[in-house]
A and B are shown apart, each in its own frame.
Chain A
Amino acid sequence: MANYTYEHTPDRGATAGVLAYLGTACAVLLLMMLVGLLMRLEQAQIIDLGANWFYELMTLHGAGMVGIAGIAGAAVMWHFLRQYVELSPAIFMANLALFLVGVAMIIGSIVFGHFHAAWTFLYPMPSKAMGMWSQEAAALFMGGLLVIGVGFLLMHLDIARAIIARYGNFARALGWPQLFVHDDGKAPPPTVVASTMVTIVNIVGLVVGASILTMMLVNLYLPEFTIDPMLAKGMIYFFGHVFINATIYMAVIAVYEILPRYTQRPWKANRVFLASWSASTLMVMFIFPHHLLMDFAFPQWMLIMGHIIGYLNTVPILVVTGYGALMIVFRSGIRWDMASRLLFLSLFGWAAGAMPAFIDGTITVNYVMHNTLWVPGHFHTYLLLGMVAMVFGFIYYLGKPAQHVRESWLDRAAFWGFTSGALGFTLSFLYAGKESVARRYAVHLPEWLPYDRAGSLFAALVVASSLIFVLRFFSRLGAAGRDYARAPLAQGAAA
């Protein structure tokens, strides 16, 4: 086995582009969290917006959150990948510009056109509006998604180009020579391996997504061009699953890059690491039938494949990435500050959320839990307590005014508020799912209200804590752009 030692890499500040990404992501994130809170309050019957507003907000929240998760993940990946390969800042900015255009189209479609077919826009719902929205509103929404997709596709193509220019091909960038032939200790760094994986799966996912969007746009204006609803559903979930999961695989790069700087211990791409990322590349693409487990007419072998990969998929998360973080932190003398705390928490959130997720992917469980609140229960765990915590850790890191800073009680209170709020919020979803509360219901039955009320309270705590994180970041944008060492040496570490 090759031996890996820690080497210090100098710490770069964020470019203006990365800061623009993060600023956009943080602002939209807060707004969408407020929208989420409104939905929860509506379900708890504390406020009364009406079903129309609820479903419009639900569509906005779903599309908005998935979109900014992509933007924030891309910012993390681009920031660190730039250390190893030559990326194009112009294409990076083009993606953000297209994103903003797409967002404007989506907001227009929902707010002015009253479109509310959910971010999953299942065929043929957008065209069967029952008079609730116009054809133009549906076209604007799907067109907006398409524009955003094209932006991301451009960015990933540029990343693919840069990786191939430096490493020759994807197989080398995934470390296959080290994995399959001989581990000479010179595998590409984790950031490159992860970026390659994300680039491969997202290019495939985005092409599939753009195809179904285009097909549905054609169908909108040429109804005689019909689409098989099962094919449409498969394509939408393939794209949706890949894209949202890729946001986690991008954001986790922050953990791979930053925790070693705090612990002065290596997190290198050894064979187990490489094997797990290559496996994840395949699994994230072939797991999508787990969204169709209740479509009994879907080919059964694919459903069983979804079930099995659901189990396999937890192994790399737990045994490689989660465990890897535990390894380098254990007896490391790490100094806990907001950045290191949030990054450590994020891997807990990811690993913990994977538990109810794979259980849901069990066909016999899915039979009585599919499309209950169990589902938002597990995905909010790994997205909010996992992916978003990674991003918050990253912005605290970038914004650190100096290597050693005394943090105010306010930030620390916000950390614990976020942690407990997010746990309470997701557990209230999971518990409601256990009690068979259906998801995506504007109006809940009286016996469901207690979970909604508890959930609202915890959600408010999450929003308040996140507000503090984001305001802190906005007040530190100057520091975030400068080059200097941010991670403090571990206690007792040899300098």
Chain B
Amino acid sequence: MMQEIAWQLSLVLMTLVALGFGFVAINSGVRVEDYTPLQKRAYRIRSKLFWTLVAVLGPAMIYTLLDLPYGTSRAGHKAGPAQVVEATGHQWRWELSRDRVVRDQPVEFRVTSADINHGFGIYDADMHLVAQTQAMPGYTNTLRHTFTADGTYRILCMEYCGIAHHNMMSEIKVGSL
């Protein structure tokens, strides 16, 4: 979902940039010797462009700050006692205190590492990343997530940790009790 928005938005913005450059390239051939009036007009357009950016990006920047994934600051996560999963990264395996959780009830992953940096990424049954946090030695990152669909989720390592980084996978089963 978020990925889809990011992709579409990037394509739109990159296309707009391309159109700007294309438009100017096409209109580059015939010279207007007196630059001053051109410049004046261009500055006016630039002001408009600037304020458009402010008007569009400003609210987007603030809006996306309203629902941060950090610990308790995540709004809208389901009430009720959390199911706690202690997750520890090792070169090169995940140690999970439990690998079964219940759907529609918040899960609190307490993620850390026993050796070097790893990344704790949760993939759904379609292999799409739904949540992640880093696993750093000496620190515990608390990741709260509520699964809304049953199935087998996979844990992939999201921080490069050496020769078997790509093999550092594990599973979590989500069911409805």
Contact = CB atoms under 8 A, between A and B. Distances in A.
Interface of A: 6, 51-52, 55, 116-118, 120, 122, 124-125, 128-130, 132, 228-230, 233, 265-266, 292, 294-297, 300, 303-304, 307-308, 311, 314-315, 318-319, 322-323, 326-327, 329-334, 336, 344, 347-348, 351-352, 355-356, 359-360, 362-365, 367-372, 374, 430-431, 433-436, 438, 440-445, 447, 490-494
B7 A434 contact: yes
Given A297-B140, A368-B131, A494-B33, A359 B24 contact: no
A270 to B, nearest CB: 10
B116 A122 contact: yes
Interface string B62-78: 00110111110100000
Nearest to A120: B160
A440 B71 CA distance: 27
B163 A233 contact: no
Contacts of B159: 122, 371
Given A359-B6, A359-B9, A367-B132, A51 B28 contact: no
Contacts of A332: 28, 31-32
B30 A368 contact: no
Given A55-B163, A355-B13, A363-B64, A431 B91 contact: no
Interface in B19-65: 20-21, 24-25, 27-33, 35, 38-39, 42, 46, 49-50, 53, 57-58, 60-61, 64-65
A344 B24 CA distance: 10
B10 interface: yes
Given A122-B117, A122-B160, A329-B28, 14 more contacts: A122-B116, A124-B137, A265-B35, A295-B136, A308-B61, A327-B39, A331-B31, A363-B64, A364-B2, A365-B6, A370-B132, A438-B166, A442-B165, A492-B33
A125 B161 contact: yes
Top 10 A-B residue pairs of the complex, sorted by shortest distance between their CB atoms:
A333-B31, A296-B141, A355-B13, A441-B166, A492-B31, A436-B129, A434-B7, A356-B10, A297-B139, A440-B160
B131 A367 contact: yes
22 contacts: A116-B163, A120-B160, A122-B117, A229-B117, A229-B137, A229-B138, A229-B139, A294-B132, A294-B141, A296-B69, A296-B141, A300-B68, A307-B65, A311-B60, A327-B42, A331-B30, A344-B25, A364-B68, A370-B119, A434-B3, A491-B30, A494-B33
A43 to B, nearest CB: 10
B133 interface: yes
Contacts of A297: 136, 139-141
Nearest to B157: A438
Contacts of B156: 438
B88 interface: no
Contacts of A431: 7
Given A117-B162, A438-B121, A369 B6 contact: yes
Nearest to A345: B21
B165 A440 contact: yes
A364 B7 contact: no
Contact of B166 (A318, A368, A443): A443
Contacts of B5: 365
Contacts of B32: 331-332
Given A229-B136, A435-B128, A436-B127, A352 B14 contact: yes
Contacts of B127: 435-436, 445, 447
A326 B6 contact: no
Interface residues of B, number: 78
B70 to A, nearest CB: 5
A185 to B, nearest CB: 14
Contact of B29 (A315, A333, A365, A374): A333
A308 B61 CA distance: 7
A125 B116 CA distance: 6
A421 to B, nearest CB: 16
B18 interface: yes
Given A122-B116, A300-B70, A362-B64, A130 B162 contact: yes
Contacts of B27: 330-331
Contact of A344 (B3, B21, B31, B73): B21
B125 interface: no
A228 B138 CA distance: 8
A363 B65 contact: yes
Contacts of B163: 51-52, 55, 116, 130, 132
B107 to A, nearest CB: 15
B46 A319 contact: yes
A125 B158 contact: no
A351 to B, nearest CB: 5
Count chain B CB atoms within 10 A of each CB in A118, A364, A445 and give the residue with the most: A364
